[in-house]
Amino acid sequence: MIKPKALKKGDTIGIIGPSSPSVEGKLESAVQELTALGYKVKLTESCHATHGYLAGADDQRAADFNNMFRDKEVQGIICLRGGYGAMKILHKVDVEVIKNNPKVFVGYSDITALHLLMNQRCNLVTFHGPMVASDFAGGLGDFCKESFLKAVTKSEAMGLIQNPTDVDIQCLVEGEAEGEIVGGNLALVSGTMGTPDEIDTKDKILFLEEIGEEPYRVDRMLTQLALAGKFDDAVGIILGDWNNCESKKHANSLTLMDVFKEIIVPFKKPTIYNLKAGHCTPKVTLPFGVRANLNATEGKVYIKEAATI
């Protein structure tokens, strides 16, 4: 895997909007937060643009994405927010530009589509972590800030990934596994099926998280991955945060845990639940594409390899 250079104070972070637009006022607050951390900030047109539910037309969002990797003044890239739209620009991404200009790249949710492309087609290590309007705008808080900086500014293995204090990681299936962590938001991972960026879980630790989905919809997406052999291929599974995924429609609904036990547990892969990565506050920053050890029995994840150089 290609590793980006670690960020340092004084570096310039480019902000791109590959998905949905930001709420007015949040961008300015986020820029102040990044500046307070010691970074310069460079904005793209998609930071201010709107095209319905998108942060600008597809060509504009794709151009901003490619240009931030080309830009020699920019050392890292953080996405504006999730929402929807990243999959619409996958065919417009300049893979060679990314390979030749590796940089720290951070985002989650809809940004999962871009993580998969960069991990699989560009062999680039990326980071599932806080975004500009979604997280930096409100202030990261000590836990989130520490996890983010540990991931993107240290040229050494992160070691044990810890949850916030008093929030336990739970074991669903005992055992131990080792491999690169891949994945992201469940809806986006399932949405790649049958495309050139379909997730490859062979010998990988599969990470999944979600927000606002009814258990039957989670069931459907997990079943799609199961039928496609993605759980068979994985060596282990990390279930992150599942924000607001309780049923609001059906009194007789299965619970989210029922769904996990019926679909995931039978594969007998070491599995943990409740790692605070995803649509939650505070959140862990996870590197995609470096070796990790999952000790599900003990509820622990160790990053064994540096994610930056």
Q: Is 109 a catalytic residue?
A: yes
Q: Is 115 a catalytic residue?
A: no
Name the strands in the sheet holding 236-243, side by side, starting at the edge strand that comes first in the sequence: 159-161, 300-303, 291-295, 176-185, 205-211, 236-243, 271-273, 170-173
Question: Out of 19, 33, 190, 279, which one is annotated catalytic?
Answer: 279
Question: Out of 33, 180, 209, 210, which one is annotated catalytic?
Answer: 209
Assess contact for 166 and 274: CB atoms under 8 A.
Answer: no
- The CA distance from 83 to 109, in Å, is 7
DSSP-H helix ranges across the chain: 26-36, 58-70, 95-100, 112-121, 141-153, 186-191, 215-227, 230-233, 256-263
Q: Is 48 a catalytic residue?
A: no
- The CA distance from 296 to 89, in Å, is 36
- The CA distance from 20 to 54, in Å, is 4
Neighbours of 107 (CB within 10 A): 29
Question: Out of 19, 20, 22, 109, which one is annotated catalytic?
Answer: 109
Region of 34 please: left (phi>0), alpha (psi -120 to 50) or beta. Answer: alpha
Just list the catalytic residues: 109, 209, 279
